Structure 1
Amino acid sequence: MAIVSFWCLLIYMYALLHWRYIADGAKHFSPSGCQLVSKVAHCRYLQLTSIPQDLPSDIQELLVDHNNVKSLDEESLLRYPELNNLSLKSNHLGHKDLNAFMDTSKPESLSLQNNTIFTKYTLISLALRSALSLRWLDLSRNAINEDMLTTFFPNLTSLEYLNLDNNVIMRLDKSSFEGLRNLKELSLQRNYIYEIEIGTFDNLVNLKTLNLAFNLLPCIVDFGLTKLQMLNLSYNQIEWFFSREDDIEFQLQKLDISHNQLLFFPFLPQNHHLHTLLLSDNKMKFYSKHFDKNSSFADFLILGNNQSQITTVYLWDNFTLSNLSNLNVLDISRNQFDYLPANFLPAMTSMSYLKLNWNCLETFDLSSKHITSNLTFLDLSNSRLSEISFEEPSSNLHQLRYLNLSQNRLQELPRQIFSTMNSLSTLDLSYNLISLCSTSTSIVGHQNCVDLRNIQSLEYLRLSGCGLQLDKQDIFLGTTLTHLDVSYNQLKSIDFLQNSANMLKCLSLRNSLYSVNNIDFSKFQSLTSLDISENNITTFPRSLMDLNLQCLDLHENKLTSIPISSPYQPLVKSLNTIYLSRNSFDCCKLSWYDILTTSNSINIPDVKQITCNFSHNYMSVQELPESVIHSCHWRNGGTLLSLVLSLPTCLTLLVAFILLFLLFKQPLLKKFKKHFRTSSSY
């Protein structure tokens, strides 16, 4: 029986080793140091000066990044006929033989990122002409300019992806991409492109994605790429975006013109498939309320193909010419909108994500005639709002999950505004002067309070800086709050949290407990993150020691010590992150600090800013002088040390007393006898 068990064990170990060998991809190393996994050779950072010739002839991927391969000759790849992926990033490559790809299987993917191609670009362009199967090409970071472009791509008809990022291209014309009729994705970000000739991309009939971010384009006029699906124009200097005026259907799905200088809402194609429109960080606004739209127009003079064309555009209402019913995501944050036209948002019937933050809106309408019922995300923060319109008793925002109204001027909100938002999970009302309703609130006397009770879907609530006192215990009754921020308020106690104590996981009470003492957190058994910083707390709440907190923020208080005496206390065992700076810790009572710093699982991000007090001098706990440590050892010696220190003094006094007694013994005795002498009876 023992023999059978032994053989079973051997078979199991063999199977395990065989499985690990297969899972590891038969990993081994070549004489040149390349790591071989299956049919992939990893030859990075080996200081190679040429393509290694000691690899298996059937490899399919060769990664020679970050070496010193400066040239590629005819025989470099002759040994590897099945190679389809070659990466030569960061190699100072500047020369490539004309026949480098002639006798190979012609790689499908080639990365030449971060080399010196510009030095002998004509030779490299001639070599690329023989790579007739190339589908993916990366020429980024090679100091390529617009004159070099025309030499690279005449024969690359199979190319589908082209990366020209981080070069020095300044303008594009019709000859820039001739021959790339199968190109699907083109990236030109982080160049210096300030001009694109009309018709530059017309021959790229299969182009789906175009990235022109981080350039110097001043405008886009007569946009006519009907097959394009994704266009990134972010971080340019664009003031106008004007598409071609015709009934041709555009395939455009995502358009990003964020971080530009747009003055007007872009003039989009009439027929398109846009689902995402990103226009944040521009200078847009609507003007029909301020000017006569019948006389406010601009004439565009479009020059191209030796012809001129004048197009008149009405600036105030042309956005309505485009069908926005399929738009799902709209970001127009950080602009200058002071109002939205009545037919602007209602036209976006499929809208689910809307960002309007950091604008100049003073009022906003949440009624069904203004907002689609499909909305799930709405950000209206920092928009100078002083009024929110809302139709009661019903609401169309039953799918809304995220609502941000923070950093506005709201003092009044409809009392039941949130009661019908059945899916509302995150609500941010920070920095608005509002009040919350409770059971004892009189309906007649407190019309301005906001009722947050019985919103069962509400989990994340931020009420920072609302001037709240929160002395009622039932303001969150019926909610399922797990994350609550009531920082920068004036709390009299934390009794208002009794109904939510068992559910709360993250709680922020920053700068809100100046007059609160003896805080009891014993009921917050689910709490994992607590912020009680900036509160001038003098005594660490001992109720925290039994909680399983993962993150604790104590910075900027007046704590002198923390009652941590063992690394096995529940708080120490669960803690991952703690903030402790700007307190008044005693330099001679830092045993708790030693326990925290010796724990490998606890991170103290502000450890360099933690100081302690020794004789009214504050110093870094990481750099305590030896003299201070020595003095603290004597000071913390306890009763035994005090007894040892006082014993010599006591002995000295005792000896002195005995000597004095002996010195004055005889005179004192005689005087005593003389004073009390009496006759004796016989």
Structure 2
Amino acid sequence: MLPSLLLLWSLNQEIYINGLPCHDPKRSWSNQNLYSVPLDLDVRLRRLDLSNNFIRQLHTLGLPYLEQLDLSSNQLDLISEGVFENLARLEELNLSRNALNNNLGRNSKALQSISRLKSLDISMNRLNDEAVELYLRNKSSLDQLKMTGNALTRLSRSMFKDNNNLRTISIDNNLISVIEQGTFESLSRLEVLNLAKNNLAHICDFKLHQVEHLNLSRNSIEFFVTHEDERLYRLEILDLSFNKLLYFPIVPKLNRLRYLHLQNNMVGALTSEAEMVSEANSLYDEIVHQDYIPFAKNNLHSTWRLMPLTYIDLSYNHFRTFPLETLSLLSSLEILNFSHNCVQNIVWNIRNDSESRFNRQIFFSSLKYLSLQANGLTHISPLFLKALTQIETLNLQGNSLQPCAPAEHPILNPNISCVTFGNLRSLKHLNLRENNIQKLHVNMFQKTSLVSLNLAKNAHMVMHAGALEEVQGTLQSLTISEINMSGSDLSLPRMPALTHLNISNNRIDTIPNSLSCSPLTEIDIRNNILGSLNHSLILNLSGHLQIMYISGNNFNCCDSRWLTTLNELKIKLPDISNAECYTSENNILLTDYLENPLNYCLFHTNLEQIYINYAIFYTIYNKYTETIKAAVLNMNVLLVLTAVYKYKTLFLPLMKWFCV
């Protein structure tokens, strides 16, 4: 007993000595309509949240173990000078969304007393350049700094002189137009720098060797140029999106750049790739050498050749030609987004080799994903497709491409404007949505191993019966919606790998029985003219089927075994609340129908049909069943059943009608 008591006493002493609380060390007073800091705070608190209140002044806090303090979204404009003196362990302080542009002298002195602060957020306080310098004094321990949404216009060399340990700086959404040389160079540990949403016009000489992630998006940058040197830059992510770039950036020669964001710029506005490259090199020479040097080195291509880039986004630019040579230099490139440009034809326009004078053969040897969506393409050179040796995903949505017929050979006849996808052996995912395709020919995808195919929104497309035969064994996802296709037009081969099928928004009245061999997990049949579904097909699919979309059809309420089966098997019908079935009298929501189907099919059937069936029954009754008459008159149930069984071939149709 004594050893146990001694152990308990020692643990209590350790908790007391180290100040470790024995309860939840966090307390939240957020959104409590507070006008001051509560007085009854537990001195053992480690984390205190006072955000989203109305606190205007901050006075001394006696919380010696506090590590995190959140005062964001208050009305704080005055901090007493000694307020943080007793917060010896404070590491994270959030003062964003206050009014710290007031009382700069007193407030900045108060913050200088925090010796261990690692994270500081002073965003959205309407702070100017001078105010920020005051707040950042004596903050040598700072690791993370956020100054989003203030009023900074100029970053000076003295701003971060006391913050040499900074790793992350966010100064986005300010008014910065000038960055003095040396502002960030001395921050040797800086890894992430966010300068998005400012007024920067150009980057003339990028010298931040230590930065790994640089965000310059949503400025007004027209060019990005780096002097060539032999030092290694650690830059891995460069975001120049939403700017006014006319040229590709000239990045450091030795770098680790893997992700380059150039979307929503003006790159490619010049008439040709050659002209764009020439202009970029002239600009580089002008900046570096202060004059134009004829026949100078191609700095753009020499630096791009060394980039280990795996991802580049060039969407929403002004390209009218595809920059074949420049992009082919990126030997590690795996993902290229070239969507929403102005390229109508991809022509194999490669310069001749200077010595042999033969066309050079180039390859995109690592490219796996290529998006050419919404370019207005009418022609793609087969030599370009041949160069995509490792392509897996090809997005051609929103163009005007026509697949080639079997007899057409675009390599032999360059005047043919059709596209052939044969021999793209690595291709797995193909999107041909909204291309105004007229005909899908037989063996369209021979020698490919497509896993997913999207043919939606080709409103006048005629699909040949053998169009999918070459990929019937590999295809897992097929979309043929919005094609104006009828049931007789839909001819699908047996596809033993198909798991997702979308045939919505057509005029289909029956689902092909060939699908009974497919392990479908999801099927979309919305907005067709289906009156019923094949019950045996549903049973065959039920082993794998998980989700089915059915709304927008003309289902017959009284032919609903398929629906009952789906309901019993608990197949998900996400849109069943919008689905209807019909009787001769009105339409009924399927959710209502499922609750009591007999109410609608037995008692809401057309009365005229009841009279007709009753007349038939009465004729048979009079003509063939004297025995039944006698049995009925004598109330002998056994004789009635015997007579009905004897004449079952006559009564069977009537019995079926009554049991619907």
The TM-score normalised by the length of structure 2 is 0.72
What does residue range 302-313 of structure 1 map to in structure 2 within 5 Å? 310=290, 312=292
Q: Is residue 370 of structure 2 the alignment partner of residue 378 of structure 1?
A: yes
CA distance in 2, matches of 1:233, 1:108: 29
Which residue is equivalent to 1:592? Answer: 590
Q: Which amino acid aligns with 1:570?
A: L
Give 1:99 deviation, angstroms: 1.5
Which residue is equivalent to 1:464? Answer: 456
Which residue is equivalent to 2:428? Answer: 425
Number of residue-to-residue matches in the alignment: 549
- Residues 412, 370 of structure 1: alpha-carbon distance in 2 compared, 3 angstrom cutoff: farther
**Any gaps of 5 or more consecutive residues in structure 2?**
1-20, 351-359, 411-418, 612-660
Instruction: Assess if the C-alpha contact under 8 Å between 1:271 and 1:323 holds in 2.
Output: no
Which residue is equivalent to 1:333? Answer: 315
Q: Is residue 547 of structure 2 the alignment partner of residue 550 of structure 1?
A: yes
Q: Pick from 99, 102, 107 the counterpart of residue 90 of structure 2.
A: 107
Q: Which amino acid aligns with 2:494?
A: N
- Residues 476, 189 of structure 1: alpha-carbon distance in 2 compared, 3 angstrom cutoff: farther
Which residue is equivalent to 1:67? Answer: 53
Q: Is residue 328 of structure 2 the alignment partner of residue 346 of structure 1?
A: yes
Which residue is equivalent to 2:623? Answer: none
Give 1:351 deviation, angstroms: 1.0
- Residues 558, 111 of structure 1: alpha-carbon distance in 2 compared, 3 angstrom cutoff: same
Which residue is equivalent to 1:619? Answer: none
What does residue range 262-661 of structure 1 map to in structure 2 within 5 Å? 262-285=245-268, 287=271, 297-298=282-283, 310=290, 312=292, 318-325=299-306, 326-341=308-323, 343-361=325-343, 362-363=345-346, 369-390=361-382, 397=388, 399-412=390-403, 418=421, 420-432=423-435, 433=437, 435-438=439-442, 451-453=444-446, 455-456=448-449, 458-466=450-458, 467-473=460-466, 475-477=468-470, 478-491=472-485, 493=488, 496-500=491-495, 502-513=496-507, 516-520=508-512, 523=516, 526-535=519-528, 537=529, 539-541=531-533, 543=535, 548=545, 550-552=547-549, 554-555=551-552, 569-571=565-567, 573-578=570-575, 588-590=586-588, 592-594=590-592, 636=604
Give 1:163 deviation, angstroms: 0.7
- Residues 95, 208 of structure 1: alpha-carbon distance in 2 compared, 3 angstrom cutoff: same
**Any gaps of 5 or more consecutive residues in structure 1?**
1-34, 303-307, 439-449, 599-631, 644-682
As a proportion of its length, which structure holds more strand? 1
Give 1:437 deviation, angstroms: 4.7
Instruction: Assess if the C-alpha contact under 8 Å between 1:160 and 1:183 holds in 2.
Output: yes
- Residues 462, 172 of structure 1: alpha-carbon distance in 2 compared, 3 angstrom cutoff: same
Instruction: Assess if the C-alpha contact under 8 Å between 2:166 and 2:189 holds in 1.
Output: yes
Instruction: Assess if the C-alpha contact under 8 Å between 2:524 and 2:549 holds in 1.
Output: yes
Which residue is equivalent to 2:627? Answer: none
Identical columns (%) = 26
Q: Residue 290 of structure 2 aligns to a residue in which SS?
A: strand
Alignment RMSD:
4.1
Larger displacement relative to structure 2 (36-45 or 177-186): 36-45
- Residues 145, 560 of structure 1: alpha-carbon distance in 2 compared, 3 angstrom cutoff: farther
- Residues 422, 43 of structure 1: alpha-carbon distance in 2 compared, 3 angstrom cutoff: farther
- Residues 565, 189 of structure 1: alpha-carbon distance in 2 compared, 3 angstrom cutoff: farther
Instruction: Assess if the C-alpha contact under 8 Å between 1:532 and 1:553 holds in 2.
Output: yes
Q: Pick from 43, 66, 74 the counterpart of residue 57 of structure 1.
A: 43
- Residues 560, 140 of structure 1: alpha-carbon distance in 2 compared, 3 angstrom cutoff: farther
Instruction: Assess if the C-alpha contact under 8 Å between 1:465 and 1:489 holds in 2.
Output: yes
Asked which structure has the greater CA Rg, the reply is 1
Give 1:637 deviation, angstroms: 8.9
CA distance in 1, matches of 2:31, 2:561: 49
CA distance in 2, matches of 1:506, 1:596: 26
Q: Which amino acid aligns with 1:498?
A: P
CA distance in 1, matches of 2:172, 2:494: 53
Larger displacement relative to structure 2 (469-478 or 129-138): 469-478
- Residues 288, 639 of structure 1: alpha-carbon distance in 2 compared, 3 angstrom cutoff: closer
Give 1:167 deviation, angstroms: 2.1
Q: Residue 219 of structure 1 aligns to a residue in which SS?
A: coil
CA distance in 1, matches of 2:278, 2:582: 71
Which residue is equivalent to 2:646? Answer: none
- Residues 317, 530 of structure 1: alpha-carbon distance in 2 compared, 3 angstrom cutoff: farther
Which residue is equivalent to 2:120? Answer: 137
Instruction: Assess if the C-alpha contact under 8 Å between 2:482 and 2:505 holds in 1.
Output: yes
Which residue is equivalent to 1:20? Answer: none
CA distance in 2, matches of 1:53, 1:64: 13
CA distance in 2, matches of 1:338, 1:318: 23
Q: Which amino acid aligns with 2:88?
A: S
- Residues 400, 204 of structure 1: alpha-carbon distance in 2 compared, 3 angstrom cutoff: same
Instruction: Assess if the C-alpha contact under 8 Å between 2:557 and 2:593 holds in 1.
Output: no
The TM-score normalised by the length of structure 1 is 0.70
Q: Pick from 74, 78, 81 the counterpart of residue 98 of structure 1.
A: 81
Give 1:232 deviation, angstroms: 0.7
For each residue in 1:608-631, what CA deviation from the matched residue of structure 2 results, as whole angstroms up to 9, or x when unmatched? xxxxxxxxxxxxxxxxxxxxxxxx
Q: Residue 322 of structure 1 aligns to a residue in which SS?
A: helix
Q: Which amino acid aligns with 1:374?
A: S
Which residue is equivalent to 2:192? Answer: 209
CA distance in 2, matches of 1:417, 1:36: 71
Instruction: Assess if the C-alpha contact under 8 Å between 1:366 and 1:388 holds in 2.
Output: no
Give 1:505 deviation, angstroms: 2.9
Q: Which amino acid aligns with 1:72?
A: L
As a proportion of its length, which structure holds more helix? 2
CA distance in 2, matches of 1:81, 1:397: 63
Give 1:156 deviation, angstroms: 0.5
Give 1:236 deviation, angstroms: 1.8
- Residues 563, 37 of structure 1: alpha-carbon distance in 2 compared, 3 angstrom cutoff: farther
Give 1:254 deviation, angstroms: 0.9
Q: Which amino acid aligns with 1:462?
A: N
